Amino acid sequence: METIGFLMEGFAVALTPYNLMFALFGAFVGTLIGCLPGLGPANGVAILIPLAFTLGLPPETAMILLTSVYAGAMYGGRISSILLNIPGDEPAMMTCLDGYPMAQKGRAADALAISAIASFAGSLIGTIGLIMLAPVLARFALTFGPAEYFALFLLAFATLGGITGKNPMKTVIAATLGIMISTVGIDISTGTQRYTGGVLELYEGIDFILAIVGLFAISELLFFVEARMGRGRSKVNVGKLTLSFKEVVSTIPTQLRGGLLGFIAGVLPGAGASLGSFISYTLEKSVLGKKGRFGEGDIRGVVAPEAGNNGAASGALVPMLTLGVPGSGTTAVLLAMLISLNITPGPLMFTQNADIVWGVIAALLIGNVLLLVLNIPMIGVFVRLLSVPPMYLLPIVTMVAFVGIYSISHSTFDLYFMIVFGVGGFILRKLEIPMVPIILGLLLGPEMEKNLGHALILSDGDWTTLWSSPLAIGLWLVAGLGLVLPTLFGPILRRRMRNAIKEGPVSD
């Protein structure tokens, strides 16, 4: 099979000592990002982009670094869920339900170890799914014309809020704002200056990297300042590892189910890692029924969501790599890296940049092994870092963001711009305008306009061409559903997720 051949080539790329070193570094930093307060995965990857960029890393190395960070962040999120009953990131929410009770019973070390194993299994299943599905989807995507792409981009925006999203109109507004920002600068096809106001720095458009860092990192700092959550958390004792081999084996069916469900949730538009871990937890609960003691520290209650969210994390890479359309915040940030490396994302990547695609996939597999190895013996290090108070951490993170942005262009103009984005992001987040569609709009805006232009030129200005093929109509329909369904089912699903969390008798 040619896929195996490509994968082997990918391993050849990923296993060079240079790339391996970056994968290890990324895995470590990623876990830190996942477990530290105030540093979500999207945020963490965003701050690292300018650094990867200014270091002049070759594209495959830069992507390997960021993918490892991404995988690592998914591992890290569980640590504070288990020890402190505070999810490190959103998908780790469900891990609190049984992880924290386990920790309270003095089995914290076991919960951490089994969740690392479950993360590994979920990721492995997800990555295998990615290897099988991605080339097929990429081949299919080659049949897309500009009209289909235009519809696909709309679908991506429409489903971004997710089925649990609150107000779809705010997603639309956010996406429109993002695309509007992307139209600033000289128009590529006609050379018209748009919205530059004659400011020289704006001729080339607004660099989305500084927008992303501002929207994420700076607004996060402001949120912490406002909430005055600067004090750290108390230190936690992990205790001894008592996990038996038999116990690990007994969770294997749970791991397989969780990983597979998570992967599917990750691939589908509008689902994502949070829903992946929720579905796999609920399924596990109904499959095992009375045999399980869910909510009281059942080991399978830790395994299911962890396998689920890591499976989903790998699954989310499928649409990003094959279609160039990310379905989550973190994959959107990974897409930003690809674009700034001058790689056109989409199906052609599989033929034109095969080394990068397969290098990244191989790095995901290697990264997971590294993460498993890192996470069991070194868990103590991460736990200690968990108690670093945000009042020292966040200013330093902000400073690193400043350094990163400054070192790209050595201009303070960009820094002011980043602060403006940060303050704007803070205000918009307060008003519950989501950040991710803004970023996706920034990234996809130019592509959308290009495809719209091509479609209309091909059809001699006939607008109906946008919905003339069955595939395009299908995409429009799903996009429409993506906006309508959340208003119908969103409240129900959200209530269920909330109830599931409240039911946990020990969690307060």
Partner 1 sequence: MTGMGDRILGLFLLVLAVAYGWVAQQWPEPFGGAEGVGPETFPTILAIVLVIGSLYLMIKPDADARWPVGKSALELVISVIVLVVYAMLLEPLGFIISTTLAVGALSWRMGAPATKSFVTGLISAVVVFGLFNYGLSLSLPNGLLGGF
The footprint of partner 1 on residues 449-508 (CB under 8 A) is 449, 452-453, 456-457, 459-461
**335 and 137 in contact (C-beta within 8 Å)?**
no
Separation CA 151–CA 171 (nearest Å): 17
CB of 48 to partner 1, least distance (A): 14
Q: Which of 200, 431, 464, 470 binds partner 1 (CB under 8 A)?
A: 431
222 binding partner 1? (CB under 8 A)? yes
- Can you tell me the distance from the alpha carbon of 377 to that of 62, in angstroms, rounded to the nearest whole number? 27
Which residue lies nearer to partner 1 by CB, 106 or 389?
A: 389
Residue pair 453/189 in contact (Cβ under 8 Å)? The answer is: yes
- Pure H helices in 268-298: 272-288
Contact indicator for 222, 426 with CB cutoff of 8 Å: yes
176 binds partner 1 (CB under 8 A): yes
3-class SS at 346?
coil
Residue given tokens 């099988």 in the structure block: 132
Tokens representing 221 are 């700092």
User: C-beta of 174: minimal distance to partner 1 in Å?
Assistant: 9
Q: C-beta of 421: minimal distance to partner 1 in Å? A: 12
Q: Distance between CA 42 and CA 73 in Å, rounded?
A: 9
Q: Which of 66, 303, 448, 475 binds partner 1 (CB under 8 A)?
A: 448
Stretch that binds partner 1, among 237-245, 352-360, 422-430, 475-483 (CB under 8 A): 422-430
Least distance (Å) between residue 310 CB and partner 1: 31
Smallest CA-to-CA distance from 136 within 33, 267, 28, 261 is with 267
346/150 Cα distance (integer angstroms): 13
Nearest approach in angstroms of CB 411 to partner 1 is 10
Burial class (CB in 10 A: 0-12, 13-18, 19+), 230: middle
Cα–Cα distances in Å, from 294 out to 91, 101, 300?
18, 10, 8
Q: Output the six-digit token pair for 191.
A: 């050379």
- Minimum Å gap between C-beta 64 and partner 1 is 18
Our CB check for partner 1 shows the closer of 140 and 413 to be 413
Asked if 329 contacts 435 with a C-beta cutoff of 8 angstroms, the reply is yes
The site that binds partner 1 (CB under 8 A) totals a number of residues, namely 64
Instruction: Find the part of the chain contacting partner 1 (CB under 8 A) among 64-72, 192-200, 277-285, 320-328.
Output: 192-200
Question: What is the pattern of x (binds partner 1, CB under 8 A) and - over residues 109-148?
Answer: ----------------------------------------
Restricting to residues 46-85, name those near partner 1 by CB under 8 A.
54-55
Assign 373 to helix, strand or coil.
helix
Question: For residues 221 and 398, is the Cβ–Cβ distance under 8 A?
Answer: yes
- Distance between CA atoms of 223 and 228, rounded to whole angstroms? 8
CA distances 14 to 18, 65, 207, 216, Å, are 9, 10, 29, 29
Q: Which stretch binds partner 1 (CB under 8 A): 18-26, 218-226, 327-335, 364-372?
A: 218-226
* Residue closer to partner 1, measured from CB, 8 or 396: 396
Say whether residue 283 binds partner 1 (CB under 8 A). Answer: no
CB of 210 to partner 1, least distance (A): 12
Query: Strand 193-194 and strand 185-186: pairing?
Result: antiparallel
Q: Which parts of 376-415 interact with partner 1 (CB under 8 A)?
A: 389-392, 394-396, 398-400, 402-403, 406-407, 412, 415
For partner 1, give the closer residue by CB, 248 or 419. 419
Choice from 15, 20, 133, 225 touching partner 1 (CB under 8 A): 225
- HEC states along 396-414? HHHHHHHHHHHHHHCCHHH
Q: Contact, 81 vs 305, CB < 8 A?
A: no
C-beta of residue 303 within 8 angstroms of C-beta of residue 114: yes
Give me the least distance between CB of 33 and partner 1, in Å please. 17
CB of 181 to partner 1, least distance (A): 10
Choose which of 139, 240, 430, 495 interacts with partner 1 (CB under 8 A): 430
Stretch that binds partner 1, among 78-86, 136-144, 328-336, 426-434 (CB under 8 A): 426-434
Residue numbers at the binding site for partner 1 (CB under 8 A): 54-55, 166-167, 169-170, 172-173, 176-177, 179-180, 183, 187, 189-192, 194-195, 218, 221-222, 224-228, 230-231, 389-392, 394-396, 398-400, 402-403, 406-407, 412, 415-416, 419, 422-423, 426, 430-433, 448-449, 452-453, 456-457, 459-461
